[in-house]
Structure 1
Amino acid sequence: MAARPGLQQEAAALAGAVRGALGPRGGRALLVRPDGRALLTRDGRRLLEALSLQPPTARVMAACACRHQSATGDGAKTFVLLLAAVLGAVRDGSPRRAARALPSFERRVLQRAVARGLRPHLRSAFPAGGPGAELEAASLRALLEAHLRGRLGPGERRAVALLGCELCARCGARRPPALRLLCGRFAQLHAAVAGLPLGRSRVLPGVLLRRDFAAYCPAGGRPRAVLVTRCLRPALTAPGVECAVRSERQHLAALRWCGGRTEAVMEHLRSNGVGLLLSGVKQHEEVIYYAKLHGVSVVECLSAEEVSLISEITGISPYDPAGDSLHKEIAEAAVVTFCQPLLLGSQRYAHIGFSSTGAFQPHCLLLCAPVDAINEQHAAALHGAFTMLLQLFRAVDQECGAEGESQNGASGVGSGYSPATETQVVTESVSCGSSQVSEHQLGACRGETAAQSPGLALQGSEHPDCTPPASAPGPHSKELNGAGSTGTPKPHAQCECADGMDESHQRHPAVCSHRNYSTAVAGTATLCEHISISRGPEEAGCGVAQSYPCSILEAGSVLPVGGYFEVLLHYYIRHYAKQVQQSAVTVISNIVADALLSIPKALYGTERNGFAKFYLETTEALRKNEPLSVSEKGLESVYCKYQLLTSVLHCVTELLNIDLIIGVKRPLQKIEDNDSDDDF
């Protein structure tokens, strides 16, 4: 049974649609919206969403690529190109066999290629303080500029990258809490102005509310602000409450009571130092009148997102003047540093400065561009860049346990990977004498440096898939524990372990302080020199052991842009695939390794001998165990790249397992269990 030809054709067509916009040398596509407006863009998600795709499998491919970009901030075009390359190689043989081999490939080849081969070449975006510290300023700029090279033109990306760096610095968004708020509330933290050049863009303190003041009363000092979500004028009736008015006199008296109550509320606010009222609903005209009378500014009709943003920044809850609250002090109020109207183009904004109670320092971005479409591109590119930066603080972990796994066992690719998955879990059993213990298979657990992590030689293991932890496999790499110089693996397992693991086996903070991890792993030891094994009957010889987490990729791992990730991973996948005895895993390993090269080939494009020269120089340096020659200054997140690959493998598995496509032209009718045969 051959793979369905339509899959390769559809993936190739999608790749052809986005290939021209890939990388810094890519061009822009002209999209015409249904209302006639034109849009020039290089954004992969916009391109895929604009295509009118009829085949359902093509729509699945585009949806997976767009979902991945939404989760990681980038990678839609690369996703499609890599998917097309993998599917294009699965032409002969059974697609089901290839789908079944993908989980074993990820577990036995991909994770080892990343943890043992790729990891020594990684750099860290964090300073000496590790991932707990803030993102380094130089790394932040290199990451932003590299990300924007594939989204914006050369005259725009530098200015937009500087704006992004300034916004992160002023908001304190070099740490995860503030960066998470910036990503989630970016739509409310920036304003676009058309008709002005990009150079007029600014980072402003405070927040811009997309509403004008309903009542503006300038006040000195630092007034307080309250947030309300209902009208402050009391209503005569309420749901489930009936108000009986029997005469005009009673009606006028009720109205006077409502007015008096409203004035009392405003007097209470002013007596508590409140000078700004932020309302999520439209207030009654009496509220506006008494607010002006008592010198309280009012901004009304705020959106739910703006109300949530203010509450998240200031930590206050909506104020409700009910019952006897008029006699109590108002605790739910925020300090306002400034409050003024701001005219941007033809729209008026309320520009308000807040004193933050958390890690996020309130600042907003004012984006200027000649037309609205360019503003949309800049905003989307920056939002994706901040999402990518947030992924930089995540790590890919592996948990090595003693339950063991069969060599022929298979599970879902990436353990049911979705773009939001943060960890990968693998277990492996290793026998040492008569006891089964958990081992740090992939080495370099959090808290160790590459130079401090000795290899762990395990004697007597019968697992043929455990391979020597060579940092740069080749003729100059050293085999551990007496292995030959030809690179042939011994029939025993060799794994890496954290240095100085004591009985507590605590997980130390990830050490990413070094600028690179190029130091090769050296040294050997026996298992009992690193792991204290209990000889009690409950633990020894019973296959019971605790599981200890290991890190495949540390937080903050970065590589230079330009195809280094793909070429390095291609090299190490090829190496580790030779040591797997299953032919199906070897075949799929070679397919994925060759498919990875389609990315740098597309990046270099029509440049004469550009890719060939880059590939030969990189692989030659790996074979000689020499430092890589890097000419690019930009950096890219290895976490996002790794998740891109696992997401593509998951999509390939789903596509190859499709047996039948059924077109449904009307909603499916629910069939009750108690229906009889006469009903059909």
Structure 2
Amino acid sequence: MQMQQQLECVSLQVCVSVLGPLESVVRRCLGPEGGSVLFTRDTGETLISRHGQRVLSTLHLEHPMARMVLDCVCAHAKSTGDGTKSFILLLSALLRAIQDSAHMRRKASWSNPALQNLANRLMALSRNELDDIIIHQVTPYASSYCSHHSDKLEHSILDYLISGYISGRTGAGQAEILKHILCEFYYKSKRDQNTTETISFIHSHFNVLHTRVAGLPVGCSEVIEGLVVTRDWSVWTELRGPIKALVLYESFGSSLGDNITVCFQQDWLSRTESITKQKLAYLLELQVNVVLSSVKQPECVLQWARMNHVALLECVDSDQLDFLCNINFPETLSHPQHIVMLKYCKRLQLGGLRCAQLGIYSNAHTLVLCAPAPGLLDQTVCVSRGSMEGSYAGWRSFACRWCV
């Protein structure tokens, strides 16, 4: 019975001691004047970050409660897009206050029912008292501001959301550069959509709408029209739009060939070559100017492209091809082949990286993020992606509370 009672009790001292090191780590990088945390792995790779969730996720946490707190922090960040460091600091302060209260009452620990009761009271406070403050003392002023400054509202709120998010995660100089680039990225990507739809679009497709370039200053980051593919053209020729592009997910022979039953290898090779030539000739009849492939194509396809002035781009990321097909309303020949229309095709040099630039009619743009070192580049990408997640959550919350 005594052992069971001990298992049912939660030691506040253990909770505070576990959260103490986490609090000391995030406290160093809190606020615009906070510093960055430097991690060094056994391989010599370094990581520099002020992003609370990333800092906590990088730590090797062995204690079960520490891992539980990290799970809660990640769930909170996923829901709100921000507040990781504040979550840890407020939780630590709350547990210390409970510990002091327990000490005054000469209790070393609280039982589960008592802690559950405390948690319910805190939840009720946040739902009843805090929501009441927002509704009666914040919303009326925000609604008044909306009605008198509707033309400037979108720009100012988005600017504040991105600026506030980035300032707590990067240095002052880098934050100013990224804020300008991300706002530019948003406004160039926006067409006939409203703010929520635009941020949601960027947030959902961020992986295909950004490109990393190491070895350049952060100030070299820019927004480029169209879709940037970090592959050089296997066969390049100057083309003028509009352009018909064939999208392939398999090798040309396997994706376009027919099922053939043969007895001899020589007969099989001759029939396969004949079918391939027929299919390539059919592409010329369709006036296909560009071939975009997710895999390496046979040498005969490269020779055909050179002879017929067709641009060929191989080993394109499948997610980028899917994105291209989804937003361009493609014409499907036979699965998995699609024909899409492009405004233009270009060669692009980003530092020491040769890329392909595809102009698409949906007004999509690519965010090119630069940094002098891989660790700093990872931080830049992480902060940029997080700013879109935070802006999406923040703007959605603003729209639900104040603009409805």
TM range (shorter): 0.7 to 0.9
Corresponding residue for residue 335 of structure 1: 341
- Cα distance per residue 1:535-583 (max 9 Å; x no partner): xxxxxxxxxxxxxxxx6x2359xxxxxxxxxxxxxxxxxxxxxxxxxxx
Go from structure 1 to structure 2 and tell me whether the alpha carbon gap of 1:315 and 1:389 turns closer, same or farther (over 3 Å shift). farther
Q: State how far apart, in whole Å, the 1-side matches of 2:347 and 2:35 are.
A: 41
Corresponding residue for residue 4 of structure 2: none
> Are the counterparts in 1 of residues 343 and 359 from structure 2 also a CA contact under 8 Å?
yes
Go from structure 1 to structure 2 and tell me whether the alpha carbon gap of 1:124 and 1:140 turns closer, same or farther (over 3 Å shift). farther
Asked if 1:245 corresponds to 2:263, the answer is yes
Q: State how far apart, in whole Å, the 2-side matches of 1:110 and 1:307 are.
A: 47
Residue 77 (structure 2) aligned to one of 65, 69, 88: 69
Residue 153 (structure 1) aligned to one of 156, 167, 171: 171
Q: How many residues align?
A: 382
- RMSD of equivalent CA atoms: 3.1
Gaps of 5+ in 1: 323-329, 397-509, 511-550, 557-680
Residue 193 (structure 1) aligned to one of 209, 213, 230: 213
**% identical equivalent positions:** 27
What's the CA shift for 1:140?
Answer: 2.3
What's the CA shift for 1:45?
Answer: 1.7
- Cα distance per residue 1:245-292 (max 9 Å; x no partner): 14xxxx434323322322222222232232111112222222222222
Go from structure 1 to structure 2 and tell me whether the alpha carbon gap of 1:159 and 1:106 turns closer, same or farther (over 3 Å shift). closer
Corresponding residue for residue 301 of structure 1: 315
Q: State how far apart, in whole Å, the 1-side matches of 2:356 and 2:313 are.
A: 8
- Cα distance per residue 1:345-386 (max 9 Å; x no partner): 333211111112xxxx21112222222222222221111111
Corresponding residue for residue 394 of structure 2: 392
TM-score (ref. length: structure 1): 0.51
> Are the counterparts in 1 of residues 342 and 361 from structure 2 also a CA contact under 8 Å?
yes
Asked if 1:96 corresponds to 2:125, the answer is no
The amino acid of 1:298's aligned partner reads L
> Are the counterparts in 2 of residues 277 and 297 from structure 1 also a CA contact under 8 Å?
yes
> Are the counterparts in 1 of residues 16 and 96 from structure 2 also a CA contact under 8 Å?
yes
Q: What does 1:466-481 correspond to in 2, within 5 Å? A: none
> Are the counterparts in 2 of residues 234 and 262 from structure 1 also a CA contact under 8 Å?
no
The amino acid of 2:121's aligned partner reads A
The amino acid of 1:10's aligned partner reads V
Residue 267 (structure 1) aligned to one of 273, 281, 290: 281
Q: State how far apart, in whole Å, the 1-side matches of 2:256 and 2:188 are.
A: 48
Q: State how far apart, in whole Å, the 1-side matches of 2:121 and 2:145 are.
A: 35
Residue 351 (structure 1) aligned to one of 357, 360, 363: 357
Q: Report the secondary structure of 2:18's partner residue.
A: helix
> Are the counterparts in 1 of residues 294 and 316 from structure 2 also a CA contact under 8 Å?
yes
What's the CA shift for 1:137?
Answer: 2.1
Whichever of the two has the greater Rg, that structure is 1
Q: State how far apart, in whole Å, the 2-side matches of 1:224 and 1:235 are.
A: 19
Gaps of 5+ in 2: 1-8, 103-109
What's the CA shift for 1:209?
Answer: 0.8
> Are the counterparts in 1 of residues 239 and 344 from structure 2 also a CA contact under 8 Å?
no
Asked if 1:113 corresponds to 2:133, the answer is yes
> Are the counterparts in 2 of residues 203 and 363 from structure 1 also a CA contact under 8 Å?
yes
TM-score (ref. length: structure 2): 0.84
> Are the counterparts in 1 of residues 241 and 342 from structure 2 also a CA contact under 8 Å?
no
What's the CA shift for 1:127?
Answer: 7.7
Q: Report the secondary structure of 2:296's partner residue.
A: coil
Q: Report the secondary structure of 2:270's partner residue.
A: helix
What's the CA shift for 1:124?
Answer: 8.6
Asked if 1:139 corresponds to 2:157, the answer is yes
Q: Report the secondary structure of 1:46's partner residue.
A: helix
> Are the counterparts in 1 of residues 143 and 403 from structure 2 also a CA contact under 8 Å?
no
Corresponding residue for residue 371 of structure 2: 369
Residue 61 (structure 2) aligned to one of 53, 57, 62: 53
Asked if 1:32 corresponds to 2:40, the answer is yes
Corresponding residue for residue 5 of structure 2: none
What's the CA shift for 1:109?
Answer: 2.8
> Are the counterparts in 1 of residues 12 and 95 from structure 2 also a CA contact under 8 Å?
no
Q: What does 1:318-333 correspond to in 2, within 5 Å? A: 319-320=333-334, 332-333=338-339
The amino acid of 2:212's aligned partner reads A
Corresponding residue for residue 385 of structure 2: 383
- Cα distance per residue 1:141-185 (max 9 Å; x no partner): 232222211111111111111111111111118623332221222
Corresponding residue for residue 327 of structure 2: 313
- Cα distance per residue 1:92-134 (max 9 Å; x no partner): 363132133344334433332332344335479978797xx99
Go from structure 1 to structure 2 and tell me whether the alpha carbon gap of 1:54 and 1:318 turns closer, same or farther (over 3 Å shift). farther
The amino acid of 1:376's aligned partner reads D
Q: Report the secondary structure of 2:90's partner residue.
A: helix
Corresponding residue for residue 85 of structure 1: 93
Q: State how far apart, in whole Å, the 1-side matches of 2:48 and 2:149 are.
A: 42
- Cα distance per residue 1:492-536 (max 9 Å; x no partner): xxxxxxxxxxxxxxxxxx7xxxxxxxxxxxxxxxxxxxxxxxxxx
The amino acid of 2:84's aligned partner reads A
Go from structure 1 to structure 2 and tell me whether the alpha carbon gap of 1:182 and 1:126 turns closer, same or farther (over 3 Å shift). farther
Residue 182 (structure 2) aligned to one of 151, 161, 164: 164
Q: State how far apart, in whole Å, the 2-side matches of 1:74 and 1:103 are.
A: 20
The amino acid of 2:314's aligned partner reads E
The amino acid of 1:343's aligned partner reads Q
> Are the counterparts in 1 of residues 215 and 371 from structure 2 also a CA contact under 8 Å?
yes
Higher relative contact order (CA 8 A, sep 6+): 2
Structure with the bigger percentage of helix = 2
Q: State how far apart, in whole Å, the 2-side matches of 1:381 and 1:320 are.
A: 41
Q: Report the secondary structure of 2:33's partner residue.
A: coil
